[in-house]
Every structure is written in structure tokens, then in C-alpha cells.
Amino acid sequence: MNAAPRNAAPPSTLPTHPASVAVAPPARMPSRPVTGIPTSAPPQSSPPAPLYVPAPERYPAIDPPESDDAKTARDERRQKKRKPRRVRSRPPKEQKDRQAVHELELREIAGHLTFTRNDVTAWYHLPDIQWAFRADKERTSILLGIAAQYAALGGYRLHMRRTNRPYPAVGWARRMAALTPHPVPDVRGAPSWSDHLEAGQRRLHATSLAEGEVYLGVVFQRRTMREQMVETLNALRKRGSGNAERARLEQLVGRFDEVLGAFGMQARPATSKQVEWLIHRSVALCMPPPPALSPAEAGGWETGDLLAFTEHTMRYRSPYGSTVKLLSRIGDEHVERHVAVLTFGRMEELSIPERHEPWLHFHEQLPWPMELSSRVDVLGQGDALRSLEHKLLTIRSQQRDYHEHEMDAPPELERLAQRALDISDEMSTGLDLDAARVHGWHRIAVSGRTEEECLKRVRALTDHYRSMRITLNHPRDQLRLLDEFIPGQPVANTGYLRRMPAKYFAASIPQAAAAIGDRRGPIIGETCGTSHRPVMWDPHYATEVRERSGLTVFVAEPGGGKSTLMGGIAYLAARRGVQCTILDPSGPLARLATMPELAPYSKVYNLTRGEPGTLAPYGLIPTPRREHFASDESGTAEWNSAVAAARAERKALATDICMMLLPPQIQRERSSPILLQRAARQVEPEESATLDDLVATVATFGEEGAELAETLGDVRDMPLSRLFFGRSTAQYGQDEAVLTIITMAGLALPDLSIDREFWQLEERMALPMLHLATAFTTRRAYGRAMSDRKLVALDETHFLAGWGSGRALFTRLARDSRKWNIAALAASQNPVDILGLDVQNLVSTVFVGRIAEDPEIAAQALRMLGVQRGIGYENTLAQLSVADTQNDQRLGYREFVMRDVDGRVQKFRADLAYVAGLLEHLDTTADPLGDVGRNSGQEGDAR
């Protein structure tokens, strides 16, 4: 091919010349053939281009034009002959949505039932069981009841889960504020009521006070292929399992409700919120709890909804790691934890309840929360016997092997064979409870913020269980072991299978608890027995909720902390606006009135230095108010009766005081009580009357009356007698003092074994003073409406128990505390002081501190606690608040054994340090050197 000349034009992008394009023939052409069109000769520089010549084509002849009517008729004929054609619309090609990845075996949740592809599990919540300070007979009865319930579940697999719920500090503060409608007004420069609540919440957050919750799942139904197909079809229709399947399960569920709800476990079907909480805590094991649960009230969860449990938690493991790292997104924060799962290995037989604690509750003694998971199969008598016979045949086969090789078989084989024969005989001839056996796996999860912290806790837990002769193993494949805690997940592996009687598994008691108190009152400490739980106590919980007596008793030897604890409780009540009256003969509790937040609302009456008329007898008896009674006729009659009783009580009190003030010789005269009673009838018994009016009236009764009035006049001039004569300026019924403290420091009490003629003058004045002090306390307690909260604290009860007026006050408070909403607190060094007043059946709450000197006194204290005596609990009281003999520092805490209004008994450590300055004001220990002595002692320890 020749090259193009230099001056040739470039290739054109325009359309091709028309001569080289095939052109369609026109619509109407003549019927002759079409010839080619001649073209000019091509230039010599290029070969001639071929021409396109269309092939000859014969066109049809042209018909004559058709009329419009003919066209219309032709179109109508064609339209009649034409059949309608069905138009098929093709849908657009379907695009499959991406399926979610389900990490759990669960497929559905319906109420307390969880469904997987193969089985169904019913979940039950087990309430706490009080284990401490119970007699062995009671514990054994509980264990046998639980074992019988396990035996009744023969043939089923159980999943026991113990998880933790952080104590709701915010909820406690809100409830506390709601139950305190009128706290004392805030004082400038002193902690406010809000500061007080914040301090309590910080106290709860400072320690890991988590509450244990135990759930039991019963895998009770293998699902058929038909049920699985129905579930698959229902999933496409956005529905759950079939109604027929649920109806068939109702009978089984009702049976388990009956078995597990009996004495022993006393289980109840778990609510939908509890099941949701359990799965959340199982997926995010040992992580902080979710901030809130689902707001939906319906208890059903479909397959797609279950992603909410796994979306926020990621798990990481290294190839040879000892822990699994969990990372959760909680709100806007990411929380990291390292978790290790231990499994229970070889264990010796334990003597429960005689010597050992429940073996699945023993970990609660450590100060950090842990999680438990047990998967067990309950074998009936037939299955257990077959398994035992298989083991026996294995032992005999090994013995024959030794015999064939002419070797001595180890003696352990013969012992095992004999043990198997004994168990087989027990199972064959005993009850179903004796024949039931439990085979399963028991895991415990330990967590830490770092891997080092987690492994350190693992070592501590392993050593802790070694003291019970139980081996904890740290196996491999931690991620699969972690999955075992999640409901519905399979067992990781069959290693470390534990075989035991049903009684032995029942003795694990994972639901054993140490809770005590009412959970609504102020914080007074935390339990220090088998676990750590906060102790809240409201003195008015017994009267307002349980409808019991409000009498509370504090017993401890000197230095046991009873006065400090009682004073702290009175402070916490006064902080809430409760009218408090403290009768403290020795006087140290008067320092509470100097607390900045209570100083404007407190008043101290020192009877040995009081103002004239402080104990005026007529003014101490309150006049009942009409508004305190019903508005109907019966209320009016009751009010009139109460007014008459108050007037009679004033007369009797004034007469008794005058008789006490007289010398013994004049008291024995026949005319003295007659003249005083005649004068008391003539003096109008109103609150404004005084003893001076009574003496003036006696003086008008002739010569004997004048002599008696002169004697009383001489007594009136004595220093201590000024409290009884004259009119008091205090308005006892209308005073605004929230906290009132009555002291009698330095008062010399007479010896009742000595005749009154040999009493000194001060001792003779002490009797009417004590008598009127109790009347003053009565005025404070009964001067308000019956429904108002009131608190009366009596320290040194033995000081009052020796006198008739003191015993009368104590008995009256014990009997009337429920009706008048009075929290009566009484402290004494000897429980006999309380038991001697015959009010044992009226005591609702008891606090017992250290009692180590006399076993008889300890036995009486146990009687008040309602604890069995003579089985070793006396030594428990002697071990309370034991100081370290290796240093000379004061013990910074006090321990008590408490019995609450519900009868629960538990040891706890009093803790009021979260209230700034309270312990300093309540400290009754002598410290002549002050802070200098304490600091020097600390420096000596440091050196």
C-alpha cells in the first residue's frame, strides 16, 4: 500500500460520502429495475473504490386509494377477530437482604421460657436463704427439702446461674428523700440535706457492695422436627413458636412451678425483666450492668431482637492466653475487663452444715464479685444404678488385669469397689432422695481491670478454696468456657465432670445471703460475715410497715459501742426531721446538740443545773388535742376520756413528788398523804398549775397542814428542789426543738438496799428528779399526733430499771410504740436489765455487741437474738470487735450481731464515718492528750 502524500488531508471524522452509503428505496418507485449510478474515475494515486449497487427488487403494484368508510369497516373486522392478549408484568429481580449473624443459640424468649433449635428452658428465680446464726436442725431441714426437689427433677438437665446486681445507690437516695418529707432546714456553713444524701451514695460506691441473684433453668423438652419447622415458618411471618407447642408445654411448666415452689428453694418463675437481666449479665460477663433494660412491657423476644444482647460486647482471646478480654460499649464509654473461668475439680466430702460453709457460697467471703454457672444432669434411680454398675465392672476388670499379671492390686481398688457396693445398696433399698445422683460441671468466673489483676484474684480464690479441700482448676479454651454462662449455649467439654449425691449438690446453697435491715433507712454499716452487704435501718420501719412494736435494744459490755451506735441512729433520725428525745444519765450524748447542722434545732436539759420549774409536775403531763382524735362522736368521747386521764395523772404526779420530798419520818405519818390528796383535789389540775399552789392549799388545812406546808417550804429552798417548784418558761408542747437531750450528770443515786432514813439529802432528791425526768420524756413522746414519727432513746437502762417510774416508762413505750409511731431505743450493759422488765415479746430489733466476760450473760444475749444457745454462738459474741494485741492503737470500728424485725440475724460492722464529724462528737473514750496522743502513737507505729 502506497504512503499518503505529504500534502494529503488528515482522516476526516465527518460522515461518509453519500455515494458509499446504502439508501433505502422510496415509498413509491416505478416497477422497473434500478441501475447503478456512474461515478467519475478515481485518482491515479489510489486504487478504484468498489461501488455499492443494490440488488434488483420487485415491488408490488400500487393499489387504488381506499375510501375512509372501507378503512373503518376493515379495522372493525380485524378488531373482532383479534383475541385479547394477556399482559404479564414481570416483577423486578429480588435482591436478598444481608442476614444478621446470630452469635447465640437462643432463638426466642417467651416470658420465662427460652427457646433454642433443640430444647426449651424454664427459668426460675431463687430467693435468698438466711444461713448465718441458724440451728443445724433448721439448716438440715432446708437441705433435705432442696435435695428432694432436685430428686423430683430426675431425667432433666439444670442450669444454675448466680450473677450480681450492683446496689442501686441512686435508687436508695431517691427513696430516702421520698420517705423524708420534712428534713431539718439547712444551716449556712453546715452540710445540707443534699450533701448528706450524696455522702451516703459515695459510701455505697466506695465498696463493691453487689447483691447476688440466683436463677435455675430447667431444660425440660426436646423439640421435634415439626415444631422446628413451625418455628421457621413463623419466623418468616414475624411470629414466634407455635401455639400448639406452647399449649403442650403448659402442663410441664405447671408441674415445675409446683415442685420448685415448695419448701426448700421456694422458687418463683422469673419475670421477663429478670430473664433479660440474666442474659445481659451472661453475655457481658463481669462487665458493668446495662444502664437500662428494654422499656417494652411485653415479655416476648424474637430472633432478630436477640441481637440487642450481643451488639455492644466484643470478646478477644490470645492463642495461649489465660484470660479473655471483654470490651463493652456502655453509653459513650468503652469498658475493658479480663475474665478467667475456673472449674471445680477434686473435692473431699464436706460436713455441711455442721463444720463447713456452703461450697458454692464460700467465694462470697472475698471482697470482689464473681459469677457462677453449674450445668448438671439429675439422674433417677435406674440411670444412677447403671452408671454405678459400669464403674464397678471397670474396677473388677482392673483387679483381674493385676491378677493375670501376677501382681498385687492397689488397695485403693478394693476400697472403691466396697464403696460402690455400699452406695448401690443404699440406692436400692433407700428412698428416691437417697438414690438421686447429680452429674455436672461447675464453673466460677473471676474478673479484673487488667490481666495481672485478674490472675492475682484467681490465685487468691484458689488458695481460698484450698482451705475447704476443694481444687479449682484453670483450664484451656477459656472462650468456650465463657459461653457456658450464657443460657442456651452448650457445655464447653466434658472434662472435670463431678459426680455427687443430690444431697451434696443441695448443700452448695448458692442462694445463701447475708442481707439484713430494711433497705430504705439510713446507712449504719455493712455485713462482715460470709459476704458484704450494706445495712440500712429505719427505726420506724417496724411500726409503719411491719406493724410491730418499735422497741429496739442495744446490749454490749463497756466499750462495745452501744451508746455510740444509738447516738448515731438518733442523729440520723433527727437529720430527717424526726422528733428525738434522748435520756442520757451520764451526759456524753449531749455533744450531739453542738453539731452545726443540728445546733439551731437542739436543746439540752441538764437536770442537775436546770432552771427553776424545769420539772414542774403539772406542766409535764400534756393535754390531749382534739385534732389528734377522730372527728365523729366516738372521737369526741375518746378525747374527753384522754383529757380526764391527763388531769388525774397530774394530780397523782404532784402528790407523789411531794411525798418523795418529805423526810421519811413525816412520810410515815397517816395525815401526810391525806392532806396532800385533799389539796390536790382543790388545785385545778391544769398545765399552768405549780407545786407552790399545792403547798399554799395545804397550809390552809389547820395546824397539821401548816406544819406539812412548812416542811415542804424548807425543801423548796434546797438547790436541787428548784427544778420542781415554780412555773417553767418552756412550752413543752409547742417547742420547735427536733433533738432534745436530758442529762443528769453527777446525780447520786441511793442504794435501795439501805433504809431511806440513812439516805443523804442529794440521794433523796435523786428519786423525784428521776421520776420527773421520765415524765418529761413521756411528755415529749406523747405530746404530738399519734401518726407523727417520734424517737425516744434511753441510755443506761439499768439506771432506770431499778425504779418504778423508769420501769413504767419503759413498759409504756414498749406497749404503745406501734400505736403512737414511737421508735424506742434502749441501751444496757446487761441483757438481764431488759429481760427483767418482761418485754421480751415486744422487742422488734436487737443489737448485741461484744460480750466476753461472762458466758451466762452471752447466753442471755443469744436468747434476745432468738439464736440457739449452747452450740458455740457464745464464742461468736466474744470474738466481736477484737483489738490487735500487737499495737497500742484504738480499734477503729465496732461489730454487732443484729436481729431485724423480720427475724434475720447477721453480724455487721457499724460504720458512721461517712457523716463528717459525727464520730468525734460521739466518742466517749477518755483522751487527755487529744490529737497529740493519737499522732504520737501513729508515729511510734510508723517507726
Could you read off the pLDDT of 794-828 as tens digits, one per residue?
988 877 776 677 788 888 888 999 999 999 999 99
Higher pLDDT: 460 or 428? It is: 460
Q: Are 907 and 900 in contact (CB under 8 A)?
A: no
pLDDT at residue 833 is higher than 70: yes
Q: Which residues pair with 526 in a beta bridge?
A: 534, 909
In the numeric block, which cell numbers belong to residue 254?
Answer: 405447671
Please list, in sequence order, all residues whose beta carbon lies within 8 angstroms of the beta carbon of residue 749, skipping any fewer than 6 positions away. Answer: 763, 766, 770, 799, 802
**Highest mean pLDDT: which range of 5-19, 372-386, 420-434, 592-606:** 592-606
**Size (the chain), residues:** 943
Question: Angle at the Cα of 241 (from 238 to 246), degrees rounded to 5?
Answer: 145
Q: Which of 381-385, 509-513, 592-596, 783-787 has the lowest mean pLDDT?
A: 381-385
Q: Which of 10-19, 501-510, 536-545, 861-870 has the lowest mean pLDDT?
A: 10-19
Q: Which residues pair with 512 in a beta bridge?
A: 129
Confidence of residue 275 (pLDDT cuts 50, 70, 90): very high
In the numeric block, which cell numbers belong to residue 820?
Answer: 403512737
Helix (H, G, I), strand (E, B) or coil at 873: helix
- The C-alpha atoms of residue 55 and residue 46 are separated, in whole angstroms, by 27
pLDDT in tens, 165-203: 888 888 999 999 999 999 999 999 999 999 999 999 999
Q: What is the DSSP letter of 83?
A: P
324-330 and 333-347 as β-strands: parallel, antiparallel, unpaired?
antiparallel
Confidence of residue 333 (pLDDT cuts 50, 70, 90): confident
Angle, to 10 degrees, between the axis of helix 381-404 and the axis of helix 411-429? Answer: 160
Give the model's pLDDT for residue 277: 94
Higher pLDDT: 405 or 739? It is: 739
Closest CA to 807 of 826, 823, 781: 826
| Percent of residues in the chain assigned helix, strand, coil, to nearest 5 | 40, 15, 45
In the numeric block, which cell numbers belong to residue 251?
Answer: 402442663
pLDDT at residue 208 is higher than 60: yes
**Mean of pLDDT values over 308-337:** 88
pLDDT at residue 387 is higher than 90: no
Burial (0-12, 13-18, 19+ Cβ within 10 Å), 385: middle
Give the model's pLDDT for residue 931: 52
Does a cis peptide bond (omega within 30 degrees of 0) precede residue 353? yes
Helix (H, G, I), strand (E, B) or coil at 581: strand
C-beta neighbour count of 9 within 10 angstroms: 7
Give the model's pLDDT for residue 386: 66
pLDDT in tens, 230-251: 666 665 554 555 565 566 778 8
Identity at 917, one-letter amino acid code: G
Higher pLDDT: 915 or 393? It is: 915
In the numeric block, which cell numbers belong to residue 535?
Answer: 445495712
Q: What is the DSSP letter of 214?
A: E
**Mean of pLDDT values over 673-693:** 89
Give the model's pLDDT for residue 939: 37
Q: What is the DSSP letter of 517?
A: B
Q: Which residue has the cell 478394693?
A: 414
The number of helix segments (H) and strand segments (E) in the chain equals: 29, 27
Higher pLDDT: 36 or 78? It is: 78
pLDDT at residue 731 is higher than 80: no
C-beta neighbour count of 2 within 10 angstroms: 7
Cα torsion for 144, 145, 149, 151, to the nearest 10°? Answer: 20
**Mean of pLDDT values over 682-709:** 88
pTM confidence score: 0.77
